[in-house]
């Protein structure tokens, strides 16, 4: 089974500053058949369902602000929020969907305002 490990577990960033969350997979999630990384990022606010932010490691979901970006390939990935806004306080999860069905999720990273 592919194990997904996020770092850090929690993060405090000042408003307007950059926030970076890392996601490491125990095996590559880059599929050789289509050269796509099977990696997604979600945002979850208290009492709400997760919201898809990024898929295929770097494709931004429609309606997601462009301050959110995803990067990386193979086993190492990053979610970057370029300028933190108050509404970005949430828990962020990455998910590998290379192994089907369902894939596996990271343990989550809690993002707060410093």
Partner 1 sequence: QVQLVESGGGVVQPGRSLRLSCSASGFTFSSYAMHWVRQAPGRGLEWVTLISFDENNKYYADSVKGRFTISRDNSKNTLYLHMNSLRAEDTAVYYCARDVGDGDYFRYWGQGALVTVSS
- Note the residues at the interface with partner 1 (CB under 8 A): 38, 40, 42, 48-52, 55-56, 61, 93, 95, 97, 100-108
| Residue 42 Cβ vs partner 1, minimum distance, rounded to whole Å | 8
Q: Which is nearer to partner 1, 17 or 74 (CB)?
A: 74
Beta strands in 34-89 (DSSP E): 36-37, 39-44, 51-55, 59-60, 68-73, 76-81
Shortest distance in whole angstroms from residue 84 CB to partner 1:
22
Q: Which of 32, 35, 42, 31 is nearest to 6 (CA)?
A: 42
Q: How far is the CB of 44 from partner 1 (least distance, A)?
A: 8
Residue 10 to residue 22: CA distance in whole angstroms: 11
């Amino acid at each position: 089974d592919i194990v997904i490990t996020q770092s850090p577990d929690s993060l405090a960033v000042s408003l307007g500053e950059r926030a970076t969350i890392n996601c490491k997979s125990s095996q590559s999630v880059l599929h050789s058949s289509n050269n796509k990384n099977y990696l997604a990022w979600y945002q979850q606010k208290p009492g709400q369902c997760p919201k898809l932010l990024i898929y295929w490691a770097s494709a931004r979901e429609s309606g997601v602000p462009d301050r959110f970006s995803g990067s990386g390939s193979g086993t190492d990935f990053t979610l970057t929020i370029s300028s933190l806004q108050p509404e970005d306080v949430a828990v962020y999860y990455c998910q590998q969907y290379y192994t089907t069905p369902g894939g596996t999720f990271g343990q989550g990273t809690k993002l707060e305002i410093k």
